[in-house]
């Protein structure tokens, strides 16, 4: 499969990103009535950092405070590559230093513990408070470990990890696979959507199999899938498993994990018990606890945050916007989508603070690459436009998932990493 540059831009959505970035000069040059307006952004991931940056780019008269608990950015995209041994954990770690230096963002490393929506103030663990005219929450997701009997105990003993938040858990899972004997069994249990990066567990199986193929060729991977089939890029993953790792990866659909026993290293679904030498269980997910504390996690299951899709303003509390994985939406939860949501939210906030009407029908591009070996990858790319009448993002014609993986898309995957990191942090 060959893709020319125009096709690549269409698939990747960076054509859209470039178009939005190109608006920065026009917005910055436009008359502004927002001098002294204050925006606080909580969470400096692929959503929050981008939103803070673009608000400042599009209207330097707006004061932006970005609050993030961690002093370094750690990328979830590429973390599966660490598990496969084709990248190191250090390559996931980036600095926040350029955001305040290049854009005049006030960077605060602290943990937000509450929000006074009436007084419009953000409260932190250190006892500080920050006033805002508009607040953006981008805190990511939490894991519903209480739904899996024994999970918390198993994790506390270091026997089980989800490794779906990059960092120490990623390194732990890699060490567990390194210590596993040749001929051992690696069990991956994944939840049904919605959740962060639904293709992640399938890429993880590829990366683990790549490592096993080189160093533990008698080993096996059993995937207990809470969905009825491979959720994302199914034909591509299945073809890659057959081509690169025949007989090594066994996919068992309709097998949601409900129990973990770390003493016997067993994962149980409603239908079977599966023993493994290494167990990787990814629980179901929900918007971060902070969203519940603030009062914006208000869907019927208390999992996600309903928002106005044109501005990402919470439907529960005026003046608070939510972006990224915490949002209740029919669009994927991924780094690329968070990036696009951040720009739509930033543009809306700039308009609102300047007395203008935001774009009622913004466009989001969703692109995700998955590596299938140390030299092949495959993409999925779609474009969605918000329909204010239906209050939903509607998929536009074209796009979709590639049925195969190849070396060209591996190169595009690497370029995607570098571009989205640069757009987030520089």
222-to-227, 230, 268 alpha-carbon distances in Å: 15, 14, 13
- Mean pLDDT within 174-197: 97
pLDDT tens-digit map of 131-142: 999 999 999 999
- Mean pLDDT within 381-386: 96
**Nearest of 347, 303, 339, 302 to residue 323 by alpha carbon:** 339
Under a CB-based contact definition with an 8 Å cutoff, are residues 186 and 223 in contact? no
pLDDT given for residue 154 in this prediction:
96
Under a CB-based contact definition with an 8 Å cutoff, are residues 151 and 161 in contact? no
Q: Which helix (H) or strand (E) holds 171?
A: helix 168-179
51-to-214, 246, 250, 336, 338 alpha-carbon distances in Å: 42, 44, 41, 13, 9
pLDDT given for residue 185 in this prediction:
98
pLDDT given for residue 15 in this prediction:
44
CATH topology of domain 145-283: FAD/NAD(P)-binding domain (3.50.50)
pLDDT tens-digit map of 334-351: 999 999 999 999 999 999
Under a CB-based contact definition with an 8 Å cutoff, are residues 311 and 358 in contact? yes
pLDDT tens-digit map of 208-238: 999 999 999 999 999 999 999 999 999 999 9
Under a CB-based contact definition with an 8 Å cutoff, are residues 406 and 33 in contact? no
pLDDT given for residue 327 in this prediction:
98
Tell me if residue 183 falls in helix, strand or coil: coil
pLDDT tens-digit map of 27-69: 444 677 878 999 999 999 999 999 999 999 999 999 999 999 9
- Mean pLDDT within 280-307: 98
> Where in the chain is CATH 3.50.50.60?
5-69+109-142+286-425, 145-283
CATH topology of domain 5-69+109-142+286-425: FAD/NAD(P)-binding domain (3.50.50)
């Amino acid at each position: 499969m060959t893709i020319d540059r125009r096709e690549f831009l269409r698939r990747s959505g960076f054509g859209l990103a470039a178009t939005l970035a190109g608006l920065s000069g026009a917005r910055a040059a436009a008359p502004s009535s927002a001098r002294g307006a204050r925006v606080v952004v909580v969470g400096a991931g692929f959503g929050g950092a981008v939103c803070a940056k673009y608000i400042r780019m599009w209207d330097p008269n707006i004061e932006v405070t970005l609050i993030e608990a961690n002093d370094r950015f750690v990328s979830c995209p590429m973390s599966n590559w660490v598990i496969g041994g084709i990248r190191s954990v250090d390559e996931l770690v980036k600095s926040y230093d350029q955001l305040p230096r290049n854009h005049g963002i006030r960077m605060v490393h602290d943990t937000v513990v509450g929000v006074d929506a009436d007084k419009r103030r953000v409260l932190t663990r250190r006892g500080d408070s920050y006033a805002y005219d508009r607040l953006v929450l981008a805190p990511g997701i939490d894991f519903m470990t209480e739904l899996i009997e024994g999970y918390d105990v198993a994790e506390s003993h270091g026997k089980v990890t989800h490794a779906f938040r990059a960092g120490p858990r990623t390194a732990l899972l890699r060490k567990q696979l390194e210590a596993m004997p040749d001929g051992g069994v690696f069990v991956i249990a994944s939840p049904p959507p919605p959740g962060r990066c639904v293709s992640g567990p399938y890429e993880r199986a590829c990366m683990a199999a790549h490592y096993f193929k080189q160093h533990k060729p008698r080993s096996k991977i059993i995937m207990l899938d809470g969905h009825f089939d491979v959720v994302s890029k199914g034909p591509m993953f299945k073809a890659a498993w057959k081509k690169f790792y025949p007989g090594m990866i066994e996919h068992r659909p309709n097998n949601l994990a409900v129990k973990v026993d770390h003493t016997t290293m067993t994962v149980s679904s409603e239908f079977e018990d599966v023993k493994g030498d290494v167990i990787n269980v990814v629980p179901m997910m929900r918007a971060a606890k902070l969203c519940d504390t603030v009062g914006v996690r208000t869907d019927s299951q208390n999992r996600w945050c309903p928002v106005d899709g044109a501005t990402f303003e919470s439907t529960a509390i005026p003046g608070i916007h939510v972006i990224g994985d915490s949002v209740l939406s029919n669009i994927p939860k991924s780094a690329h989508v968070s990036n696009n949501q951040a720009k739509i939210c930033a543009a809306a906030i700039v308009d609102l603070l300047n007395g203008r009407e935001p774009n009622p029908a913004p466009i989001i591009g969703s692109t995700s690459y998955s590596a299938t070996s140390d030299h092949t990858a495959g993409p999925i790319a779609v474009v969605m436009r918000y329909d204010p009448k239906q209050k939903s993002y509607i998929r536009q014609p074209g796009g979709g998932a590639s049925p195969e993986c190849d070396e060209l898309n591996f190169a595009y995957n690497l370029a995607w990493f570098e571009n989205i990191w640069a757009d987030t942090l520089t």
